[in-house]
Structure 1
Amino acid sequence: MKSITFRGLRQLFWPRGANPSDGPQQLRPTAYLDGLRGFAAFIVYIHHHQLWAHGIEGAATLESGFGEGDKFFFACFYIVRNFFSGGHMAVSVFFVISGYVLSVKPLSLIHAGEHLKLFDNLASALFRRWFRLYIPIIVTTFVYIMSWHLFGIWTAQTEAKGTVGEEIWNWYVEFKNFSFLFKEGWPWMHANSHLWSIALEMRGSVVVYMACMALARATHKARLLCLLGLAYYFLYIVDGYYCALFMAGMLQCDLDLLAKKDGYFPRWLRRLEPYKTFIYYHLFIIGMFLAGVPSRTREIADLRGSRGWYYLSFLNPQAVFDYKWFYLFFAGNMIVACIPRLPWLRRFFETRFCQFLGRISYALYLVHGPIIGTLGDRLYYAAGWPRASFGKPDPIAHWANLLPLPMNGPMGLELAFLLPNLILLPLTLWTADFVTRMVDEPTVRFAAWLYKRVQRDGEEEQKPVALVPLTRVD
């Protein structure tokens, strides 16, 4: 009995992987997108840890242009900066991938002329999407806020309420507003401020489903033009950059599907086929450069003063409030489009490590912030990184310089930053894997089960009662 219990607990907290004797697992055609999503989530992890450890001044430096203020740091150099402060680039990649993946099945049905199946697919996808995105948020944020009161954990991210009841009520009010699709203003939850992009993910998903339905009977050419027009509208006419990224991902998916069919792919793109390697290498480099757009402020004048960005700054349209998203729109699209066309890069994102990151990517995005705000905050403080008190009492002042580590190394690669991550990174990956198995994957199954439960059986459905006009009785 004890042996069975031990094996069960071990499988729960540390499951065994696939048996090597089973042979290599067959990858899906879009497996590289899973790996790219996972690696992008890892970039977000690095970005937030860099900003937290280096404090307000260091964060401003990391997000400034190379050489700005006569500061020439390796971590701020063109393209290299994407691996230190590329979190916003990663979000743009998320949205393009989502636009692509969410539209694969609907567009395939549209191409096949299966409009009834298309309706069933979109109905199922739209029904399940809210549960898929928000149930893991409900679970992780609730556990996090309860830890403040049950275990007395103090965090610098937000102040705990006086009582558990007040905390739960505040969490409920924030979440219900956060999860409302048509909420005005910026979606925000103090329990985990990194979740703002999930609310935009939900909005973009709905836009994709609506576009699939609206363009279901359009010709191939008309549909491509409409998607291009929607992307232009969301980017240049209104400030809807995230919707533009979703539309661009859907456009890429449509082009990829059309490329497999004779006579439907645009001829002018076919003519570029002999030069595709040259084109995609250059597009990838351009995309990586644009992905490193300085984002210390939202003032276009500051971008104009950055080396290499003066002329590019004049391209920013009037509609975009935060200029970085205009350049990240093109960066995210170029990166996603180029990866499957560059074999060595595609193979990298199909490796086991990237596929593992892809499987836990959503949970990694959800849990890395709370871990930074609790254990990460204390380890960086103990390693010698200064903390901004904002004139308030510091409840964890006793952690200061407990184990000061050398600040040797270039910015972003200091020993005092790398050594704490020998603890933080494995812990975060394990926690993300645990949340994936215990919350994320069951959520997917629950949403599918619930949709089946609410469906009507056509054979058992009662026929509507015919309305007979009343006759007047004198």
Structure 2
Amino acid sequence: MKPVTRGLRQLLWPRNSGADGQKPLRPTAYLDGLRGFAAFLVYIHHHQLWAHNLDESIILESWFGYDGKYYFAALPGIRTLFVGGHVAVAVFYVISGYVLTVKPLSLIHAGEFLRLFDNLASAFFRRWFRLYIPLIVTTLVYVTSWHALGYWNSACEPKATFGEELWNWYVEFKNFSFLFKESNIWVTFNTHLWSIPLEMRGSIIVFTACMALARATIKARLLCEVALAFYFLYIVDGYYGALFMTGMLQSELDLLAKRDGYFPGFLRRLAPYKTPIFYAVFVIGMLLAGVPAAKDELEYLSRNPGWYWLSFLKPQAVFNYKWFYLFFAGNMIVASVPRIATLKRFFESRFCQYLGRISFALYLVHGPIIASIGDRVYYAVGWLRAADDNHEQVAHWANLFPLPKAGPLGLEIALLVPNLLILLPLTLWTADFVTRVVDEQAVRFSAWLYRWVQGEGEPEQKRFQFAPLTRLA
């Protein structure tokens, strides 16, 4: 048993600069682990929704006791482990707002405004390429595989010819890449990618805020950050902007906490009580993270036990009420994790750090794997969805290796076994491969491209030599 326990400890215990000689963790490594675990919750959420019919999905997406139904998976706090994909997106946006602004805010505090301009210019230039190159590659390979391998998938109906498929892919992607598109922003062959354009919009918001508020006083900048978050959440339906702005606010407050005399006084006076405060904040955040989301109607929310009075808090501006509550949940979770030692150690563990490294690729590939391989595996072990329009395409896979559906809702043997043996290892391996071959290369390419457009390697006087206008005419 010793090798087993030693292996588990190596997997779950944080890496450090101790005897194992590992590189020490960054101060914000817990955010990487939190992002990775959030991506893992998205994976779990989508597999849960695939395997369970509409009635069971409503149970998972509703509060414990809704409509007189009581299930372990619907317990407050526990629900997040089954359908935590909603709050995971809120956590993504808060973390992005934090990490994208920590360096610019550090330069602002140091008064290094020239370096701030260089930093923001580089970050702004590289951001689109960093987000969209992996998306381009993975979606193009995915739609190509339908014709190269000749298989059916449940994501969308393949076009008659590969040429038509490429044209459809181009049209959908070029519309998807336009950040200010007003209608639905997704691609039919991987609808889970809807959050990427909002990620880019939020990035633009915080980059612009850093630039606009660079010379503001600390008090004025904090007030502006709060005002912008309020505007995005309560005045207009821009929850993602509010999440990014509060991520920036948390980043600034953490930087100010390290400087004597700059942290807001009323917050500093709470320092002796921070441990119980943040335990309470985390618990409240986890409760709000389980906001019932089976339907969009506010009347449905008010019928969930314990949510009647909370339903009155939703502002008029928010179209989909769940994002109002997830705004507070995401911020509470991100703020409390570094202040609760056990949570911080967990998210700094090898397991969570690994998930953090492959998190973006995991988000990109888990949907296509469900729609291509997951359908067949689930049909083979006995999950049949006769309501599917194209279920006959995989009907011959039905019950090839039937497994019992015994166990609590969401933890059935027929769901856990194929995931643990096939789907999860395959998804993690694919995400790791895409991270190394595509994602990390996209980061390097965007950095190289920025250096190239700057004219790196040319004498400085040549960079700014322009031909006379008469020669250009």
Please, what TM-score do these two structures have when normalized by structure 1?
A: 0.92
Are 1:66 and 2:64 matched, yes or no?
A: yes
Q: AA paired with 1:435?
A: V
Which of residues 377, 386, 403 in structure 2 aligns to 1:405?
403
Counting only pairs closer than 5 Å after superposition, residues 126-165 of structure 1 correspond to structure 2 as: 126-165=124-163
Which of residues 238, 252, 255 in structure 1 aligns to 2:253?
255
Structure 2 Cα separation of the partners of residues 247 and 112 of structure 1: 21
Structure 1 Cα separation of the partners of residues 79 and 390 of structure 2: 33
Q: Tell me if the contact between 1:86 and 1:291 (Cα under 8 Å) persists in the aligned partners.
A: yes
Runs (4+) of structure 1 exceeding 4 A deviation are 390-393, 463-467
Match of 1:80 in 2: 78
| Secondary structure, aligned partner of 2:393 | coil
Which of residues 322, 325, 343 in structure 1 aligns to 2:323?
325
Structure 2 Cα separation of the partners of residues 55 and 134 of structure 1: 33
Q: Tell me if the contact between 2:385 and 2:391 (Cα under 8 Å) persists in the aligned partners.
A: no
Structure 2 Cα separation of the partners of residues 397 and 451 of structure 1: 51
Q: AA paired with 2:451?
A: K
The Cα offsets for residues 108-142 of structure 1, whole Å up to 9 and x where unpaired, read as: 00000111111111110010000000000000001
Counting only pairs closer than 5 Å after superposition, residues 201-240 of structure 1 correspond to structure 2 as: 201-240=199-238
| Secondary structure, aligned partner of 1:263 | coil
The Cα offsets for residues 319-362 of structure 1, whole Å up to 9 and x where unpaired, read as: 00000000000000000000000011100000001000000000
Q: CA deviation at 1:459?
A: 3.0
Which of residues 408, 412, 420 in structure 2 aligns to 1:414?
412
Q: Tell me if the contact between 1:75 and 1:412 (Cα under 8 Å) persists in the aligned partners.
A: yes
Counting only pairs closer than 5 Å after superposition, residues 344-359 of structure 1 correspond to structure 2 as: 344-359=342-357
Q: Tell me if the contact between 1:188 and 1:195 (Cα under 8 Å) persists in the aligned partners.
A: yes
Q: AA paired with 1:284?
A: F
Match of 2:7 in 1: none
Structure 2 Cα separation of the partners of residues 157 and 380 of structure 1: 15
In the superposition, relative to structure 1, how do residues 464 and 157 fare at CA in structure 2: closer, same or farther (>3 Å)?
A: closer
In the superposition, relative to structure 1, how do residues 22 and 344 fare at CA in structure 2: closer, same or farther (>3 Å)?
A: closer
Q: Report how many aligned residue pairs link the two structures.
A: 450
Which of residues 53, 56, 61 in structure 2 aligns to 1:55?
53
Q: CA deviation at 1:59?
A: 1.9
The 10-residue stretch of structure 1 (66-75 or 203-212) with the greater mean CA deviation from structure 2 = 66-75
Structure 2 Cα separation of the partners of residues 388 and 262 of structure 1: 64
Q: Tell me if the contact between 2:179 and 2:197 (Cα under 8 Å) persists in the aligned partners.
A: yes
Q: Tell me if the contact between 1:55 and 1:388 (Cα under 8 Å) persists in the aligned partners.
A: no
Structure 2 Cα separation of the partners of residues 427 and 439 of structure 1: 17
Are 1:447 and 2:446 matched, yes or no?
A: yes
Q: AA paired with 1:444?
A: V
Q: Tell me if the contact between 1:66 and 1:77 (Cα under 8 Å) persists in the aligned partners.
A: yes
Q: Tell me if the contact between 1:55 and 1:386 (Cα under 8 Å) persists in the aligned partners.
A: no
C-alpha RMSD over aligned residues: 1.7
| Secondary structure, aligned partner of 1:360 | helix
Gaps of 5+ in 2: 1-17
The 10-residue stretch of structure 1 (121-130 or 53-62) with the greater mean CA deviation from structure 2 = 53-62
Match of 1:282 in 2: 280
The Cα offsets for residues 357-416 of structure 1, whole Å up to 9 and x where unpaired, read as: 000000000010011111111111111112144455611110111111111100000000
Match of 1:17 in 2: none
Structure 2 Cα separation of the partners of residues 285 and 109 of structure 1: 34
Match of 2:9 in 1: none
Q: Tell me if the contact between 2:154 and 2:390 (Cα under 8 Å) persists in the aligned partners.
A: no
In the superposition, relative to structure 1, how do residues 24 and 393 fare at CA in structure 2: closer, same or farther (>3 Å)?
A: closer
The Cα offsets for residues 244-286 of structure 1, whole Å up to 9 and x where unpaired, read as: 0000000000000011111111000010000001100000000
Which of residues 160, 176, 179 in structure 1 aligns to 2:177?
179
Match of 1:460 in 2: 462
| Secondary structure, aligned partner of 1:101 | helix
Q: AA paired with 1:460?
A: K
Q: AA paired with 2:280?
A: H
Q: CA deviation at 1:60?
A: 2.2
The Cα offsets for residues 8-64 of structure 1, whole Å up to 9 and x where unpaired, read as: xxxxxxxxxxxx986122100000000000000000000000001113332222112
Match of 2:371 in 1: 373
Q: AA paired with 1:340?
A: P
Match of 1:292 in 2: 290
The Cα offsets for residues 58-117 of structure 1, whole Å up to 9 and x where unpaired, read as: 222211221122211111111100000010100000000000000011000000011111
Structure 2 Cα separation of the partners of residues 70 and 57 of structure 1: 13
Q: CA deviation at 1:460?
A: 2.2
| Secondary structure, aligned partner of 1:460 | helix
Are 1:167 and 2:169 matched, yes or no?
A: no
Q: AA paired with 1:105?
A: K
The 10-residue stretch of structure 1 (43-52 or 457-466) with the greater mean CA deviation from structure 2 = 457-466
Q: Tell me if the contact between 2:375 and 2:394 (Cα under 8 Å) persists in the aligned partners.
A: no
Q: Tell me if the contact between 2:282 and 2:333 (Cα under 8 Å) persists in the aligned partners.
A: yes
| Secondary structure, aligned partner of 2:440 | helix
Q: AA paired with 1:61?
A: I
Match of 1:426 in 2: 425
Structure 2 Cα separation of the partners of residues 214 and 144 of structure 1: 41
Match of 1:30 in 2: 28
Structure 2 Cα separation of the partners of residues 50 and 232 of structure 1: 34
Structure 1 Cα separation of the partners of residues 320 and 169 of structure 2: 28
In the superposition, relative to structure 1, how do residues 414 and 390 fare at CA in structure 2: closer, same or farther (>3 Å)?
A: closer
In the superposition, relative to structure 1, how do residues 379 and 257 fare at CA in structure 2: closer, same or farther (>3 Å)?
A: same
Structure 2 Cα separation of the partners of residues 185 and 269 of structure 1: 42
